[in-house]
């Protein structure tokens, strides 16, 4: 089933002494939503700019649908739609006129152009305001016009560069839903963000980028489970409730001594256990509760998230 639609090999970009992108390799599968997740300055926009032909790589190779960007730039660019991080719209023109203008750049005209403009306005839920000047729009609405612009020529791969930065919650949702709908219809999407919740919600696979390099690449859930540790919340029923500290306290004391356990807190009926190594901690905890005959009434694992993956791998936070 897997079919590679876009491939970047040994991509490098230097700006003077700075290596902004340092030997990046990507193979994007047809139909996937692929995330580039990394902090400010990680190199996300530089990677996208090279793949979409806006910026010449220092070295490396890019192919889209089997075509080489360097030898067939126009054919490749026709397959790609870019929604840039910086907005590019004419503020005094309406959304409809902006889109008609961008469509004409792509070589669309006449009835076909009108139909594409109408369809894309509807998709980003801007039909009602389509004839008003873009300068009267909110940040999120402008962003949605930009998304519509990137889709006019029916690209095979859509690049969205931090599409939700500075966007109101309503537009944010409209953007998520548009991405999900496009993907259901078969669109391959490359999505950059430094919001790990977005990457987790939208992306089938994520490349975590730091200082120009891919430091991890996998599905969000695999990346997260590779952390090993996790948080376990247990409900415990004390057979000696009311008698002094009870058996649960003994459980707590002994669990704290397990090498796989990092820390532990207790409140009525529940203990929260932070682990170094989840599996090992869990086995040890079950041993202790069995020995002491304390019944487990509930068990919940708190998933660590991509933020923790990044923190774990780099010692830094994705966002300050
Ligand atoms: N035209 C340029 N000239 C010189 N340096 C540049 C240029 N463009 C980007 N850089 C540098 O390359 C590095 C990567 O920048 P890039 O814009 O790709 O990061 P990013 O991951 O998109 O960050 P953000 O999340 O802030 O958008 C940064 O250190 C940036 O300052
Ligand atoms: Mg950027």
User: Digits of tens for pLDDT over the chain (320 positions)?
Assistant: 579 999 999 999 999 999 999 999 999 999 999 999 998 999 999 999 999 999 999 999 999 999 999 999 999 999 999 999 887 899 999 999 999 999 998 888 899 999 999 999 998 999 999 999 999 998 889 999 999 999 999 999 999 999 998 888 888 888 899 899 999 999 999 999 988 889 999 999 999 999 999 999 999 988 887 766 787 889 998 776 655 567 888 999 999 999 999 888 887 778 888 888 888 999 999 999 999 989 999 998 876 788 878 876 776 777 76
Establish if 197 belongs to a structural domain.
yes
Question: Measured in angstroms, how far is the CA atom of residue 95 from the centroid of ligand 2?
Answer: 24
Ligand nearest to the CA of 46: 1
DSSP state of 179: H
Establish if 68 belongs to a structural domain.
yes
Residues 174 and 247 reside in one and the same domain: no
- What is the number of structural domains in the chain? 2
Establish if 308 belongs to a structural domain.
no
Using most ligand atoms within 8 A of CB, pick from 17, 19, 44, 55 the residue to mutate for ligand 1. 44
CA pair distance 214, 223, nearest whole angstrom: 13
Last residue of a domain, which of 174, 197, 225?
225
pTM attached to this predicted model? 0.81
The pLDDT score that the predictor gives to residue 227 is 66
Residues 63 and 41 reside in one and the same domain: yes
- CATH number of domain containing 253: 3.30.70.100
DSSP of 186-243, one letter per residue? T-EEEEEES-HHHHHHH-SEEEEEETTEEEEEE-HHHHHHTT---EEEEEEE-TTTTS
* C-alpha 109 chain-centroid distance: 35
Residues 37 and 125 reside in one and the same domain: yes
**Ligand 1 atom 24 nearest Cα:** 40
Residues 100 and 241 reside in one and the same domain: no
The pLDDT score that the predictor gives to residue 1 is 55
Establish if 15 belongs to a structural domain.
yes
Residues 135 and 247 reside in one and the same domain: no
DSSP state of 317: -
The residue ranges of DSSP E strands in the chain, in sequence order, are 4-15, 18-29, 33-37, 59-64, 67-68, 80-83, 157-161, 188-193, 205-210, 213-218, 231-237, 261-267, 270-275, 295-302
CB 84 within 8 A of CB 161: yes
Residues 184 and 259 reside in one and the same domain: no
Range of the domain at 178: 4-225
Question: Measured in angstroms, how far is the CA atom of residue 142 from the centroid of ligand 1?
Answer: 23
**Alpha-carbon distance values, 202 to 44, 83, 119, 193, 259 (Å):** 17, 17, 23, 11, 36
Using most ligand atoms within 8 A of CB, pick from 11, 13, 16, 20 the residue to mutate for ligand 1. 20
The pLDDT score that the predictor gives to residue 116 is 95
- CATH number of domain containing 165: 3.40.50.300
From the CB of residue 37, how many other CB atoms can be counted at a distance below 10 Å?
29
Residues 221 and 287 reside in one and the same domain: no
CA pair distance 236, 102, nearest whole angstrom: 63
Using most ligand atoms within 8 A of CB, pick from 16, 19, 42 the residue to mutate for ligand 1. 42
Last residue of a domain, which of 191, 225, 259?
225
The pLDDT score that the predictor gives to residue 245 is 61
The pLDDT score that the predictor gives to residue 167 is 86
**Alpha-carbon distance values, 165 to 51, 123, 161, 162 (Å):** 22, 20, 9, 6
Checking DSSP bridges between strand 59-64 and strand 4-15, what pairing results, if any? Answer: antiparallel
**Ligand 1 atom 8 nearest Cα:** 46
Q: Which tokens hold the place of 250?
A: 């003994």
Establish if 48 belongs to a structural domain.
yes
Establish if 317 belongs to a structural domain.
no
**Ligand 1 atom 18 nearest Cα:** 43
Residues 159 and 219 reside in one and the same domain: yes
Phi and psi at residue 42, in whole multiples of 5°?
A: -70, -25
Establish if 309 belongs to a structural domain.
no
Question: Measured in angstroms, how far is the CA atom of residue 21 from the centroid of ligand 1?
Answer: 9
Distant-in-sequence, close-in-space partners of 124: CB < 8 Å, separation ≥ 6: 144, 145, 147, 148, 174, 178
In which residue are the tokens 């540790």 written?
229
Last residue of a domain, which of 187, 208, 225?
225
CB under 6 Å to ligand 1: residues?
A: 15, 18, 20, 38, 40-46, 85, 162, 194
Checking DSSP bridges between strand 231-237 and strand 261-267, what pairing results, if any? Answer: unpaired
Establish if 314 belongs to a structural domain.
no
Residues 123 and 221 reside in one and the same domain: yes
Residues 114 and 138 reside in one and the same domain: yes
Residues 215 and 235 reside in one and the same domain: no
Residues 155 and 266 reside in one and the same domain: no
The pLDDT score that the predictor gives to residue 63 is 97
């Amino acid at each position: 089933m897997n079919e590679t639609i876009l491939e970047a090999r040994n991509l490098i970009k230097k700006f003077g002494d700075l290596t902004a992108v340092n030997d990046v390799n990507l193979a994007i599968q047809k139909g996937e939503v692929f995330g580039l997740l990394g902090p400010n300055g990680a190199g996300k926009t530089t990677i996208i700019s090279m793949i979409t032909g806006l910026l010449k790589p220092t070295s490396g190779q890019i192919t889209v649908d089997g075509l080489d960007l360097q030898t067939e730039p126009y054919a490749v660019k026709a397959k790609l739609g870019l929604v840039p991080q910086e907005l590019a719209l004419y503020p005094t023109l309406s959304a409809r006129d902006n889109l008609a203008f961008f469509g004409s750049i792509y070589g669309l005209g006449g009835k076909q152009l009108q139909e594409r403009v109408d369809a894309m306005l509807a998709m980003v839920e801007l039909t009602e305001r389509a004839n008003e000047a873009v300068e009267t729009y909110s940040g999120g609405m402008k962003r949605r016009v930009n998304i519509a612009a990137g889709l006019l020529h029916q690209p095979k791969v859509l690049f969205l560069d931090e599409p939700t930065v500075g966007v109101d919650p309503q537009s944010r949702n409209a953007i998520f839903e548009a991405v999900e709908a496009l993907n259901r219809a078969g669109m391959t999407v490359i999505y950059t963000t430094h919001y790990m919740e977005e990457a987790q919600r939208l992306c089938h696979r994520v490349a975590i980028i730091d200082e120009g390099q891919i430091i991890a690449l996998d599905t969000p859930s695999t990346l997260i489970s590779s952390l090993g540790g996790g948080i376990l919340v247990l409900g415990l029923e004390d057979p000696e409730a009311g008698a002094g500290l009870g058996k649960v306290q003994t459980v707590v004391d002994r669990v704290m001594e397990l090498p796989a356990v990092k820390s532990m807190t207790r409140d009525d009926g529940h203990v929260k256990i932070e682990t170094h190594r989840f599996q090992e901690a869990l086995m040890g905890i079950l041993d202790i509760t069995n020995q002491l005959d304390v019944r487990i009434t509930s068990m919940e694992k708190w998933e660590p998230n991509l933020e923790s993956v990044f923190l774990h791998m780099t010692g830094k936070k994705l966002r300050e």
